[in-house]
Structure 1
Amino acid sequence: MMSSNTARPAKLHYMANGFRMLATGDHVVCAVSGEKIPLDALRYWSVVKQEPYASAELATKAALTA
């Protein structure tokens, strides 16, 4: 039986121009809001903090509170 990645969080390494999957999954969790972000919708992250964000606004909020 094939295993499904549905509802399993991925573990990623965030880089300047993309990310590398360390553990398979279908989403990551926003570091600010706790919202699930499907991998195909992931656009914002911090390379320094190694954390994802659900929107540009949340990424900005995280940067300003650092």
Structure 2
Amino acid sequence: MLMSHGKRPARLHYLPYSFRVLSPGDHVTCAVSGQAIPLEELRYWSVARQEAYASAALSVEAELADRAKRGLPV
């Protein structure tokens, strides 16, 4: 069980199938929408960009934007 640390953003290191808490907190911020994501609900992130996403759709949106920015086919 994750411990609550009172409305404070956590700092995480995102790994392929999990994440490591670097600084305790109760949420992270979605890189696309800016929405607070409680750690208990965090399911989507990018290991390469070290970003969290509030939904699968926002994750895909970020991936497509990154590919377009790098000149790769989308």
1:65, distance to aligned residue in structure 2 (A)? 0.3
Structure 1, unmatched stretches of 5+, are: none
SS in 2 for 1:65: helix
Same amino acid, percent of matched pairs:
59
Give the Cα separation in 2 of the matches to 1:65 and 1:17: 23
- Deviation track 1:15-43 (CA, whole Å, cap 9, x = no partner) reads 00100000000000000000000000000
For the pair 1:13 / 2:13, whether they are aligned, the reply is yes
| Structure 1 vs Structure 2 CA RMSD | 0.8
**Number of corresponding residues:** 63
Structure 2, gaps ≥5 residues long: 67-74
Structure with greater helix percent? 2
Distance in 2 separating the partners of 1:6 and 1:54:
20
Alignment of 1:45-60 (within 5 A): 45-60=45-60
| Paired amino acid for 1:48 | A
Q: TM-score, normalization: structure 2?
A: 0.83
* Larger gyration radius, structure 1 or structure 2: 2
Structure 1 or 2: larger strand share? 1
Amino acid in the other structure paired with 1:10: A
Matched with 1:34 is 34
